[in-house]
Amino acid sequence: MTEMTADRMREPIAVAADAAVQSHKPDPATPILRTARDLVNDYIALTKPGILTLLLATTLGGMLAGAAGLPSLWLILATMVGGYLSAGGANALNCYIDRDIDALMGRTKGRGTVTGTISPRASLIFGLTLTVISVLVFGFLVNWLAAGLSLLGNVYYVLVYTKWLKRRTPQNIVIGGAAGAMPPMVGWAAATGNVSVAAVLMFAIIYYWTPPHFWALALLKQGEYGRAAVPMLPNVRGEAETRWQVLLYTVMLTAVSLMLGPFGMGWIYLIGAAVLNAIFLAYAIKLYRAPSKALARRTFFYSLWYLAIIFAVMVVDRMVLA
């Protein structure tokens, strides 16, 4: 092959390569857009969307169960937006307060309040702004009872749980659980304008669900909590006591959930609750007798499904039988 022929063969290859390079040259605006998108994602992450999904599910469950039917789509939308803003604001304020210990735990060290992409002042303003807007949304578009209950849950989570209890006592989850138990009461109040015994029992279900749910996670993450000096139960009283408390609170959860029967729930709910609690108790008993990280993980993930499904069963029961 002559040198001239080889050059001619290389020419189209070189032209194609140049064209490819030109077509993939970075757009000067791309880094700016990417930075803006990342910043927005960091702010959204402060609201803890994963947690909000479950909170909004229980809000909607309380709302639909209270209405015993389908409220107006406008009321549902306003309640969901208000709930997202309220809980998201509380979570952002939690990230502001806990930014020092978040840096010491693997699952939280990527938050913008830790990496520095969001300043402490900005996260504080963000959390407070969401909280204020949530009160206005609830008050003017839903009702002021729902607004007050939502604000109470927000303040309780930020000041009582995050600021006071979390770093001081292994009972932080037990006492602080009242904040996470507010959503179904908010939903019920949004649909009915009042709070009934059934709504209080829904609150109690989440209240007694919270310790076995979080302590199952704490059995998996006690190293992280230890490094951050957060006195979670496994770090303070040991794994054996934690497993016993998981079982104890699961028994109390079962009793409370079945108490809804005389207060508006029918046979559909009672059968569903009996099955769901039987499975939860089986996990708790097995974890107590034959502990393992794998079983603690399965218990934790089942607890997530448990809460979502039991509220779904409530809604089905009320819509079919009420």
- Using the 8-state DSSP alphabet, how is residue 262 labeled? G
Q: Where are the domains of the chain?
A: 37-194, 196-322
Quick one: pLDDT at residue 30?
59
Average pLDDT estimate for 247-263: 96
pTM above 0.85, yes or no: yes
What mean pLDDT value characterizes the chain? 90
Among residues 122, 105, 143, which one has the least CA distance to residue 222?
A: 105
314 is written with which tokens?
């409530």
Q: Render pLDDT for 212-228 as a digit per residue (tens, 0 to 9).
A: 999 999 999 988 898 88
> CATH classification of 196-322, choosing from 2.30.30, 1.20.120, 3.30.1360, 3.40.35?
1.20.120
Range of lowest pLDDT (13-27, 96-110, 156-170, 275-289)? 13-27
6: pLDDT confidence band, cut at 50, 70 and 90? very low
Quick one: pLDDT at residue 239?
96
Q: Render pLDDT for 89-114 as a digit per residue (tens, 0 to 9).
A: 999 999 999 999 999 988 899 999 99
37: pLDDT confidence band, cut at 50, 70 and 90? confident
The share of the chain scoring above pLDDT 70, in percent, equals: 89
Residue 28 has pLDDT above 60, yes or no: no
Q: Using N-to-C axis directions, what is the helix angle for 293-321 and 49-67, rounded to 10°?
A: 30
* CB within 8 Å of 175: residues ≥ 6 apart: 160, 161, 165, 169
Residue 192 has pLDDT above 80, yes or no: yes
Q: Taking the domain 37-194, which CATH number applies?
A: 1.10.357.140
The share of the chain scoring above pLDDT 90, in percent, equals: 82
Quick one: pLDDT at residue 27?
45
Q: Render pLDDT for 54-69 as a digit per residue (tens, 0 to 9).
A: 999 999 999 999 997 7
Quick one: pLDDT at residue 21?
37
Quick one: pLDDT at residue 123?
97
Going 80 to 85 to 89 to 95, the CA torsion angle's sign is: positive
Contact 137, 82 (CB under 8 A): yes
Q: Render pLDDT for 126-161 as a digit per residue (tens, 0 to 9).
A: 999 999 999 999 999 999 999 999 999 999 999 999
Quick one: pLDDT at residue 35?
85
Q: Render pLDDT for 291-315 as a digit per residue (tens, 0 to 9).
A: 999 999 999 999 999 999 999 999 9
32: pLDDT confidence band, cut at 50, 70 and 90? low
31: pLDDT confidence band, cut at 50, 70 and 90? low
Among residues 271, 287, 254, 280, which one has the least CA distance to residue 321?
A: 271
- Using the 8-state DSSP alphabet, how is residue 164 labeled? I
* CB within 8 Å of 250: residues ≥ 6 apart: 212, 277, 280, 281, 283, 284
